[in-house]
């Protein structure tokens, strides 16, 4: 079970866009594409310039708890039913 998923709110914790918050658009291996973060202009023939969101490494983002306005690590717990659930380590809140 992956700790970060598509649609999760994240905060960038390293690099040029440090402390910016957004949501994950896609995950590809160790790289994530975060909405409106790391946008570059690419020259495309017959279309002039196109804005493209480039991926950043998964180690440079952290799950963002919107109610607390702070980032947190994620832990995976197994319930008595045998199901795996994601929880924040600091506030022990369940992530849906």
pTM: 0.86
pLDDT-based confidence at residue 24 (cuts at 50, 70, 90): very high
Buried b (16+ CB within 10 A) or exposed e, 52-83: ebebbebebbbbbbeeeeebbebeeeeeeeee
DSSP category for residue 10 = E
When the pLDDT of each residue in the chain is averaged and rounded to a whole number, the result is 95
How many percent of the chain have pLDDT more than 90?
96
Q: Give the torsion through C-alpha atoms of 65, 70, 76, 80, to 10 deg.
A: -60
pLDDT-based confidence at residue 5 (cuts at 50, 70, 90): very high
How many percent of the chain have pLDDT more than 70?
99
Predicted confidence at residue 75, as pLDDT, reads 96
Q: Is the model's pLDDT at 26 over the cut of 80?
A: yes
Question: For residues 17 and 50, what is the distance between their CA atoms, to the nearest angstrom?
Answer: 20
Q: Which of 68, 91, 71 is nearest to 8 (CA)?
A: 71
- As given in the structure block, the two tokens for residue 91 are 């506030």
């Amino acid at each position: 079970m992956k700790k970060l998923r598509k649609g999760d709110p994240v905060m960038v914790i390293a690099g040029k866009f440090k402390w910016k918050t957004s949501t994950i658009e896609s995950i590809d291996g160790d790289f994530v594409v975060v909405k409106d973060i790391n946008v570059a202009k690419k020259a495309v023939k017959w279309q002039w310039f196109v804005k493209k969101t480039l991926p950043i490494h998964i180690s440079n983002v952290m799950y963002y708890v919107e109610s607390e306005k702070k980032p947190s690590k994620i832990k995976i717990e197994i319930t008595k039913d045998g199901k795996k659930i994601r929880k924040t380590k600091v506030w022990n809140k369940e992530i849906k």
